Structure 1
Amino acid sequence: MDTRKMGVFLRIISTVLLVLSACLVGLDTQTKVIFYTFTRKATFRDLDALYLLVWIDSGAAVYNLLQLFRSFRKNLITAPYKNLAWGVYFLDQAAAYVVFAANTAAIQASALAVTGEESFQWMKLCNRYTRFCFQIGGALVCSYIAAILMAIISTMSAYALFRLYSPKQFLLLKGR
Structure 2
Amino acid sequence: MEFRMAKGEVLLRVSAILFLVSTACIVAFDTETKVVILMIKKKATYKDLDALKILLYVTSAAAGYNMLQLCKHSFSACSTIRNFNDSYYMHMAWISFLLDQIVVYLTFATNTSAFEACLFALTGSEAFQWMKVCNKFTRFCYQIGGAILCCYIASILMAMISTISAYKVLRMYSPKRFLRLKGK
The equivalent residue for 1:138 is 146
In structure 2, relative to structure 1, the CA distance for the partners of 1:174 and 1:157 (3 Å cut) is farther
The C-alpha deviation readout for 1:24-71, integer Å capped at 9, x for no partner, is 001111011111111100000111000000000000000000000111
Over aligned residues, Cα RMSD in angstroms?
1.8
In structure 2, relative to structure 1, the CA distance for the partners of 1:77 and 1:63 (3 Å cut) is farther
CA distance in 1, matches of 2:42, 2:179: 62
The number of equivalent residue pairs is 173
Q: Describe how 1:108-127 pairs up with structure 2 within 5 A.
A: 108-127=116-135
The equivalent residue for 1:30 is 32
The equivalent residue for 2:100 is 92
The C-alpha deviation readout for 1:121-168, integer Å capped at 9, x for no partner, is 211010100000000000000000000110110011000111011236
CA distance in 2, matches of 1:38, 1:147: 40
* TM-score for both structures, normalised by structure 1: 0.93
Q: Describe how 1:39-54 pairs up with structure 2 within 5 A.
A: 39-54=41-56
Tell me which amino acid in the other structure corresponds to 1:39.
K
CA distance in 2, matches of 1:173, 1:45: 58
User: Gaps (5+ residues) in structure 2?
Assistant: none
Sequence identity percentage: 49
Shift of 1:13: 0.1
Tell me which amino acid in the other structure corresponds to 2:15.
I
Asked if 1:104 is matched to 2:112, the reply is yes
CA distance in 1, matches of 2:80, 2:37: 63
In structure 2, relative to structure 1, the CA distance for the partners of 1:108 and 1:174 (3 Å cut) is farther
* TM-score for both structures, normalised by structure 2: 0.89
Runs of 4+, deviation exceeding 2 Å: 76-79, 166-169, 172-175
Larger Rg: 2
**Contact persistence 1:28–1:43 (CA under 8 A):** yes
CA distance in 2, matches of 1:97, 1:174: 37
CA distance in 2, matches of 1:29, 1:174: 62
CA distance in 1, matches of 2:114, 2:139: 17
CA distance in 1, matches of 2:126, 2:63: 38
Asked if 1:151 is matched to 2:159, the reply is yes
CA distance in 2, matches of 1:142, 1:68: 20
